């Protein structure tokens, strides 16, 4: 798979709303979103959504991916070993990993936060794992340290912002406007996104470049913003 492929881990009881802002915006920017399960069997999300993975964890390779997203789950303790192991392989290979909610706790237990700045549900929640990274905990809506992105359970929009920024999905001012629109209902931000759509941008396929459908980068950015609600509806 090309490096514009983003992999999203799915497992029983995964929090379906947590990666949804990011995946919808990334798809709008021309990234290919692939869902990865422990096997090829369907899983049921926390909200009752049935998802059949495209790929099993055994076939997941960092070299095929631009990013691995790990949502939280009630059953994270059961799914931790293979997905935490995948996170370690991705980070070792220099491929970004984005974890939110319970997945952050899982990475703490795996020792992947000991030497990286991070955030999560609360410092005391991660401290209860016995990890050694307490000194690197940051009070923030979301946090990026190199190839690791983390966020707490109440911050799916900030989580998406960090992902879009790390992958340079859009120019910085467009990502900022996207965040202000969906986090703060800032009407001026919508105007910025519309101006970007109308004005277009470079067509090199990178930030602001051509999306997978052949539209210009501006249209892809705003199409991703319009559909970035977890339910997939228009803003």
Q: What is the DSSP string of 124-156?
A: HHHHTTT-S-GGGB--SSEEEETTEEEE-TT-H
Same domain, 24 and 76: yes
Which regions of the chain are under pLDDT 50? Answer: 1, 201-220, 224, 227-235
**Residue 47: its pLDDT value, please?**
95
Whole-number pLDDT of residue 79: 62
Answer yes or no: do 19 and 127 share one domain: yes
Burial 176-215 (b: 16+ CB within 10 A, else e): bbbbbbbbeeeeebbebbeebbeeebeeeeebbbbbeeeb
Q: Distance (Å, rounded) from C-alpha 221 to C-alpha 211?
A: 9
pLDDT of residue 235: 33
Compute the Cα dihedral for 204, 96, 58, 15 and give only its sign.
Answer: negative
pLDDT at 154: 96
Tell whether 45 and 58 lie within a shared domain. Answer: yes
Instruction: Identify the domain containing residue 118 by its residue range.
Output: 5-167
In this structure, are 162 and 188 located in the same domain?
no
pLDDT at 197: 81
Per the domain annotation, does 64 fall within a domain? yes
Residue 206 covered by a domain: no
In a domain, 224, yes or no: no
Assigned domain for 82 exists: yes
Q: Domain for residue 215, yes or no? A: no
Q: How far apart are CA 10 and CA 143, in angstroms?
A: 22
Q: Are residues 77 and 102 in the same domain?
A: yes
**Is 151 part of a structural domain of the chain?**
yes
pLDDT value of residue 215: 44
Q: Rounded distance, CA 152 to CA 118, Å?
A: 10
Whether 102 and 20 share a structural domain: yes
Cα torsion 84, 86, 91, 94 to 10°: value is -170
Say yes or no: 89 and 144 in one domain. yes
Do 103 and 35 belong together in one domain? yes
Q: Considering its fold, how many domains does the chain have in total?
A: 2
* Predicted pLDDT at 135: 97
Residues 109 and 78 in one domain: yes
Q: What is the pLDDT of residue 227?
A: 47
Residues 160 and 180 in one domain: no
Say if 145 falls within a structural domain.
Answer: yes
Q: pTM of the full predicted structure?
A: 0.85
């Amino acid at each position: 798979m090309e490096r514009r492929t983003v992999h999203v881990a799915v497992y029983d009881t995964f929090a379906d709303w947590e990666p949804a802002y990011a995946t919808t915006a990334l798809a709008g920017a021309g990234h290919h979103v692939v869902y990865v399960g422990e096997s090829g069997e369907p899983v049921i999300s926390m909200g009752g959504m049935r998802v059949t993975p495209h790929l099993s964890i055994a076939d997941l390779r960092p070299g095929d991916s631009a990013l691995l997203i790990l949502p939280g789950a009630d059953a994270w303790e059961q799914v931790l070993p293979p997905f935490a192991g995948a996170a370690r392989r991705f980070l070792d290979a220099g491929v970004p990993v984005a974890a939110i909610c319970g997945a952050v706790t899982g990475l703490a237990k795996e020792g992947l936060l000991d030497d990286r700045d991070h955030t999560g549900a609360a410092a005391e929640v991660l401290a209860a794992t016995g990890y050694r990274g307490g000194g690197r905990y940051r009070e923030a809506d979301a946090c990026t340290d190199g190839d690791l992105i983390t966020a707490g359970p109440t911050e799916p929009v900030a989580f998406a912002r960090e992902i879009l920024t790390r992958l340079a999905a859009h120019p910085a001012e467009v990502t900022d406007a996207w965040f202000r629109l969906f986090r703060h209902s800032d009407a001026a931000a919508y105007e910025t996104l519309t101006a970007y759509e109308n004005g277009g941008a470079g067509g090199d396929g990178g930030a602001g470049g051509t999306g997978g459908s052949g539209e210009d980068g501006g249209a892809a950015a705003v199409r991703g913003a319009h559909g970035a609600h977890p339910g997939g509806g228009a803003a």
